[in-house]
Amino acid sequence: MAAEHEQLIAVLLETKNLLLLPKKDFAWSLWNNPAEANAEIDAHIEKIKNNDYTGLRSLELLFAPTGSIQEVSVSSGWGQLFLELSSRFDQALLSLQKTANRV
């Protein structure tokens, strides 16, 4: 697997771990619970592993300001950590997109 894939997947796995922390508030997200959030992230991971980039735009929306991940993070007390995570997500996504456009 390419380093770009690994970077993005690492961010997604870290996101999953945060979404599994106790006492999360999903009220302002599109998910009802951690299982729904993790299922969606797992689906994105599988696509990336298979070089399927059709879901990258919806993944970007999850990490966007007021996106579901940020909403959960702010209402659950790890908003600052989300900002650091989303910065790494943006860098990994950009790297992956540059590589994908070269192929």
37 Cβ partners below 8 Å, 6+ apart? 16, 19, 26, 29, 31, 68, 69, 72
Mean pLDDT rounded to a whole number for the chain: 92
User: What is the Cα–Cα distance from 51 to 68, expressed in whole angstroms?
Assistant: 24
- pLDDT (0 to 100) of residue 1: 57
Residue of 26 and 4 predicted with greater confidence: 26
- Residue range(s) defining the domain that contains residue 66: 3-102
67-86, pLDDT tens digit by residue? Answer: 999 999 999 999 999 999 99
Name the token pair of 49: 């592993």
- Three-point CA angle 64, 71, 62, nearest 5°: 35
CA-only gyration radius of the chain, Å: 13
- pLDDT (0 to 100) of residue 12: 97
Structural domain count of the chain: 1
Helix spans in 1-103 (H): 3-19, 34-49, 56-63, 68-76, 79-102
- pLDDT (0 to 100) of residue 52: 93
Provide the whole-model pTM.
Answer: 0.91
Q: What is the average pLDDT across 26-49?
A: 95
Residue 99 — very low, low, confident or very high, per pLDDT cuts 50/70/90? Answer: confident
Q: 37 and 68 in contact (C-beta within 8 Å)?
A: yes
